[in-house]
Amino acid sequence: MDSGLSDQETGKRRIPLALKILIAGGFGVGKTTLVGAVSEIRPLQTEEVLTDAGAGTDDLYGVEGKQTTTVAMDFGRITINEDLQVYLFGTPGQDRFWFLWDELAFGALGAVVLADTRRLADCFPSVDYFERRGIPFVVGVNCFDGAKRFGVEAVRSALDLDPDVPVVLCDARNRQSGKVVLVALVEHVAARRAERVAAT
Amino acid sequence: MRSDAPGHHHDWLDDDAGPVVRPYTMTGGRVEPSAGRFDLVAYVVAGPPYEDGDDDPQPPPEHRAIISLAQQPITVADLAADLNLPVGVVRVLLGDLLGNGRISMYDPPTSRQFPDDDILKAVVNGLRAL
């Protein structure tokens, strides 16, 4: 819904289109590294009103009634052309910030779930989250130096993924590699859309 | 937590209030915007910049900063990063400016058919060309 000034007042300026992609995964898996590798990364402060999830975790002594906490997130912007921008949002890794995810996920094009094969279980919550909400996602297996490499099929099986969910080996530090993961996601979104159209 | 605009008398600052969390002092303690939802990737476009003397009382500096930054379309996320302010604070300020008719908001489309194949192809090509 557009609101506020009339067209005349805004000079009929063209409003670009912004697509939102989430970069999810466990704490320390390389989300910030990936966002920084493919876009100009900027910090975003989200001063949030605490829910019960954070109770007892933050020392709020003295600020009763103003229960807010600062959650720092990263985001990056990729300019496709003057009318089209892609925004990457790294999701906060800690469980107590789950309440931020729903807002981030609203209207998102899709998500990249970064996985570290040494701690594969860390990305289970992210996979569950996007599966339940029907948000398209790909799994990027971040191949850290010296990390034991598992094949794509081993990861797929361990995560119990649907057969159509792409699994891509990547290096989150590498721009080319990060681009490959993002392209895999957008192509996956397009393929899912084509299936849905075919089914109707 | 209040969503009504603060008056000249800060009646919300009584003995029981405790210290105000600092960034929210510029919103008068409000944590919810008075209008609008303000998705992180919604675009803000401002009307003409403030001119000296055309408002009484003078607009707060944060309002001026937003109007200045939003002379070209800018997203809520970029605004918050440029202003170095928490998103929650920026949303309250945007709600006030929307209420004053100083800005327009353009929320991203949310249709299931969106974005269409042409847009997705443009994104893939654009990413490959980075």
Judge: A190–B86 Cβ closer than 8 Å, yes or no.
Answer: no
What DSSP string runs through B36-104? ----TT-EEEE-SPP-TTSSSSPPPHHHHHHHHHTTS-EEHHHHHHHHT--HHHHHHHHHHHHHTT-EE
Min Cα–Cα distance to chain A from B20, Å: 7
Domain ranges in chain A are 15-199
What CATH number does the domain located at A15-199 have?
3.40.50.300
Going B79 to B80 to B85 to B88, the CA torsion angle's sign is positive
Q: Is pLDDT of B59 > 90?
A: no
Min Cα–Cα distance to chain A from B11, Å: 15
Residue A47 CA to chain centroid, in angstroms? 19
Render pLDDT for A89-148 as a digit per residue (tens, 0 to 9). Answer: 998 766 667 777 888 888 899 999 999 988 899 999 999 999 999 999 999 999 876 556
Q: Is pLDDT of A190 > 80?
A: yes
pLDDT of residue B53: 64
Domains and CATH numbers, chain B: 33-128 (1.10.10.10)
**Can you name the residues that pair with A142 across neighbouring β-strands?**
A170
**Mean pLDDT value of segment A160-186:** 95
pLDDT of residue B130: 87
Residues of B in contact with A194 (CB under 8 A): 117
Render pLDDT for A53-103 as a digit per residue (tens, 0 to 9). Answer: 444 444 444 444 445 666 778 899 999 999 999 999 998 766 667 777 888
pLDDT of residue B6: 47
State the distance between the two ends of chain B, measured CA to CA, in whole angstroms: 45
Name the more confident of A92 and A187.
A187
Mean pLDDT of chain A: 83
Which A residues 120-149 touch B at CB under 8 Å?
none
pLDDT of residue A144: 74
Of A191, A182, A194, the C-alpha closest to A163 is: A191
Q: What percentage of residues in chain B have a pLDDT greater than 90? A: 47
Between CA A39 and CA A76 the distance in angstroms is 5
Residues of A in contact with B121 (CB under 8 A): 190
What DSSP string runs through B2-20? --SPP-SS-TT-STTS-PP
Of B64, B52, B61, the C-alpha closest to B103 is: B64
Mean pLDDT of chain B: 81
Residues near A184 by beta carbon (within 8 Å), at least 6 away in sequence: A138, A166, A168
Q: Is pLDDT of A170 > 60?
A: yes
ipTM over 0.95: no
Between CA A26 and CA A29 the distance in angstroms is 6
Name the more confident of B85 and B26.
B85
Between CA A142 and CA A139 the distance in angstroms is 9
Amino acid at position B44, single letter: V
What confidence category does residue B50 fall into, taking pLDDT thresholds of 50, 70 and 90? confident
Between CA B127 and CA A200 the distance in angstroms is 30
Min Cα–Cα distance to chain B from A36, Å: 14
Name the more confident of B21 and A77.
A77
Q: What is the helix (H) or strand (E) element at residue A41, kind and residue range? A: strand A40-49
